[in-house]
Chains A and B, each alone.
Chain A
């Protein structure tokens, strides 16, 4: 290895350049040189910071003053690199950089995988769990804003509303907050629950029902949404997903951000399915614990599937009745143990609502 090379030295006091002859002692791992003013320097290899750019190597030493030495001898640079690699003088970070672009692409794959995993599973999960920290009053506020901002495509039917509230009173719904039922006169075949405990049912769906068991099933399903704070959870999931994506793409450009946003909306659609399932399961339990036959749920779902639900705004958490959901309910009806008997009171209230 070449042990002597000409370099340019900057002493950290002025920008005047000094040409020096640099010696490298392989045994002691020390760089030493002398300026024309007879000042001698010796730097330990371990204390030197190396910065290599093309055919220029900069050795940097000290903190105050910071001194540096510039070498443009390619042979010496190569020898020095080999020497440092061989004798373990290359830092672990540099070794990671030296792995080359193929390994780095592997790292990139790992990073993409990790980000994907975070986005699909971890972040929504954390966001959902953190809903516990949000006081219940915010659910009410959310429900209120929704009420103020939307018209419900019809007028309230006061008589049926009263009867429906009485109907719900007859059932033990495991609700944690006060429920408020409203019947709206419209052909829409739907019902939805708001986070503040309001449940809106359209006459369209009620008129299609043949039995009070169907109505009990519907109500139980909607109440389960409220009990599980699904609206709040969905809001948190969507927001966190959005935040996560915009953080990741923070320093990229606007187009990427828009792409990210669209990805996020696609994702949020499948979230609501998971919640529907949860509401079905709890709805089933509520129905059976009230001694009502859960077959009503199954019958209702089958009819809804046939009718092909009217499109509703996303926030209304439309209830996509999939074959999957019906299958699951039918399976529960077969496998779960339950007892049911006719409930004349519910039956008569149901007739008033119809």
Chain B
């Protein structure tokens, strides 16, 4: 069964979680977080991620998230300290009657934290995720990412935001291009120009159709993300292909909205699970990499500070 050179096969990605189980997790987590006045939050987050990863299966085997509440709690404390320092500086300068200097430092500080948080959360998430015992990993270089990040921000500012599309794609390319799954490498092959056109088209058509096109725009974005992603190993590859439809997104969105409204928000768990189910059911993988031949190559990384900062800042683009 190994070394099936050249023969192509398909791989099945699916989300097996059901709303009722997830509802239990969400409610118990909220409950514990409230009665511990928020201290339980990192553990709650770990439980939730463990559930969601554990409910996602590739070829019948589920992913595992190994991050623990304790790791994330440490990161949580560090992240809080960092924000306390930032806000402390801001208020110090306000107190000293230099509000402009304070605000400038404050925003620069935030900006400087961003690439560090992205880097940190990628390293942490990837290293704590595994499938069949094989860890994911992120091999990006913090310094390189930071320098690039500020370069892209600079271009975005001087082009009045137009470069933003290129920035998004460059960032995605860098981050995903540095993701490893054992000795399988990830590759993202998008182009800032295409992405810009896609968004421009999406924006105007959404305006012209009084918002209805937004679901087709969403479909295009998802497709652009998935279709440009591939996995490579020793000259073999797995290609990803999205089969989502705008009409389905419309249906999904409307039903989700109705669920939220008529259950007073309690249906949130079902909204999440049915959305994930739809998305994973509509990603096709095919190629010639033998999933039985992946080697463990990535190391453990247990510092969750970046993960927690990203959480505070609501940066939610870790895959």
Interface residues of A (CB under 8 A from B): 10-17, 51, 53-54, 56, 58, 60, 63-68, 70, 93, 96-97, 99, 101, 104-105, 107-108, 110-112, 114, 249-250, 252-253, 255-256
Contact = CB atoms under 8 A, between A and B. Distances in A.
B134 A15 contact: yes
Interface string B1-35: 01000000000000011001101110110111010
A66 B25 contact: no
B161 interface: no
A249 B261 CA distance: 13
B133 A65 contact: yes
Specify which of B28, B55, B264 lies most central, judged by the most chain A CB atoms within 10 Å of its CB. B28
Contacts of A64: 300
Nearest to A255: B257
B132 A68 contact: yes
Contacts of B54: 51, 53, 58
B236 interface: no
A110 B28 CA distance: 11
20 contacts: A13-B295, A14-B134, A14-B182, A15-B133, A15-B293, A53-B62, A56-B62, A60-B64, A66-B66, A67-B133, A70-B61, A96-B31, A99-B24, A101-B24, A104-B27, A108-B27, A111-B27, A112-B264, A249-B265, A256-B265
Given A51-B54, A93-B28, A111-B34, 4 more contacts: A10-B134, A17-B132, A111-B31, A112-B264
A110 B257 CA distance: 24
B152 interface: no
Nearest to B135: A66
A65 B182 CA distance: 12
B182 A96 contact: no
B105 interface: no
A252 B260 contact: yes
Nearest to B97: A137
A46 B62 CA distance: 22
A11 B133 contact: yes
A14 B260 contact: no
A109 B132 CA distance: 39
Contact of B314 (A15, A99, A104, A250): A250
B133 A66 contact: yes
A63 B128 CA distance: 10
Interface in B261-298: 261, 264-266, 268, 291-296
A108 B291 CA distance: 42
Contacts of A255: 257, 260-261
B47 interface: yes
Contact of B182 (A15, A56, A66, A111): A15
Interface of B: 2, 16-17, 20-21, 23-25, 27-28, 30-32, 34, 47, 50, 54-55, 57, 60-62, 64, 66, 130-135, 182, 256-257, 260-261, 264-266, 268, 291-296, 300, 314
B53 to A, nearest CB: 9
Sorted from nearest, which 9 A-B pairs have the closest CB atoms?
A: A10-B133, A12-B133, A15-B294, A15-B132, A10-B132, A104-B27, A107-B31, A96-B28, A107-B27
Contacts of A63: 66, 300
Given A11-B133, A14-B295, A66-B135, A253 B260 contact: yes
Contacts, number: 108
Contacts of A105: 27, 266
A253 B31 CA distance: 22
A12 to B, nearest CB: 4
A256 B25 CA distance: 22
A53 B55 contact: yes
Contacts of A65: 133, 296
Contacts of A104: 23-24, 27-28
A255 B264 CA distance: 12
B249 to A, nearest CB: 14
Nearest to A52: B54
Nearest to B184: A15
A271 B291 CA distance: 63
A68 B16 contact: no
B213 to A, nearest CB: 17
A14 B293 contact: yes
Contacts of B260: 252-253, 255-256
Contacts of B32: 96
A164 B300 CA distance: 76
Q: Please indicate which of the listed interface residues B31, B132, B182 has the most CB atoms of chain A within 10 Å of its own CB.
A: B132
A97 B296 contact: no
Nearest to B300: A64
Contact of B266 (A10, A67, A108): A108
Given A15-B133, A15-B293, A58 B28 contact: no
Contacts of B132: 10, 15, 17, 68
B61 to A, nearest CB: 7
A58 B16 contact: no
Contact of A93 (B20, B47, B261, B300): B47
B294 to A, nearest CB: 4
Nearest to A98: B24
Contacts of B55: 53
B300 A107 contact: no
A65 B292 CA distance: 17
B31 A68 contact: no
Among A14, A250, A256, residue most surrounded by chain B Cβ atoms (within 10 Å)? A14
Contacts of B300: 63-64
B92 to A, nearest CB: 14
Contacts of A13: 133, 295-296
A111 B26 CA distance: 11
A114 B291 contact: no
Nearest to B128: A66
Contacts of B296: 12-14, 65
Contacts of B256: 253
Given A66-B135, A255-B257, A111 B30 contact: yes
A65 B131 CA distance: 12
A65 B66 CA distance: 12
A58 B62 contact: yes
